[in-house]
């Protein structure tokens, strides 16, 4: 079974959690440490769920990394040279972004490392 992991930068390191099963969290000084701690925590968390007769959820969370088009950078609304919220919602912006689905933890880890200079 493979669960999606979310790792976020904090003021003093990183925190991570696994949405399925809920309640599985960790914190570390680096992305790598936080991911390692999550990998270690999942089996124990699943064992506790079983011990208390709770269901162990199948992985359901999908992870997507979304590229923000550079034409949107710095635009905060109409009237100041930017686009309106309506333009963003209805797709009248003259450029396109892309969505990349990430299915493997290693791919996500690499993307996060690039995002946070790791």
Give the tens place of pLDDT for each residue, 26-53: 999 999 999 999 999 999 999 999 999 9
The encoded tokens of residue 3 equal 């669960």
Greatest extent of the chain over all pairs of C-alpha atoms, in Å: 59
Alpha helices in the chain, H assignment, sequence order: 31-51, 85-90, 105-115
**Residue 7 pLDDT more than 90?**
yes
pLDDT band with cut points at 50, 70 and 90 for residue 63: confident
**Size of the chain in residues:** 118
Domains (ranges, CATH) in the chain? 1-61 (3.30.160.250), 63-104 (no CATH)
- Threshold 0.75, pTM exceeds: no
- When the pLDDT of each residue in the chain is averaged and rounded to a whole number, the result is 74
Highest mean pLDDT among 69-73, 99-103, 106-110: 69-73
pLDDT score, position 99: 47
């Amino acid at each position: 079974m493979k669960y999606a992991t979310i790792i976020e930068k904090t003021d003093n390191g990183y925190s991570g959690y696994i949405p399925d099963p809920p309640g599985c969290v960790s914190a570390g000084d680096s992305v790598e440490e936080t991911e390692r701690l999550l990998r270690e925590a999942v089996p124990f968390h699943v064992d506790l769920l079983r011990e208390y007769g709770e269901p162990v959820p199948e992985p359901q969370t999908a992870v997507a990394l979304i590229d923000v088009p550079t034409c949107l950078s710095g635009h905060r609304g109409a009237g100041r040279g930017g686009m309106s919220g309506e333009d963003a919602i209805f797709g009248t912006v003259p450029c396109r972004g892309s969505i990349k689905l990430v299915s493997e933890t290693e791919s996500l880890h690499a993307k996060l490392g690039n995002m946070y200079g790791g």
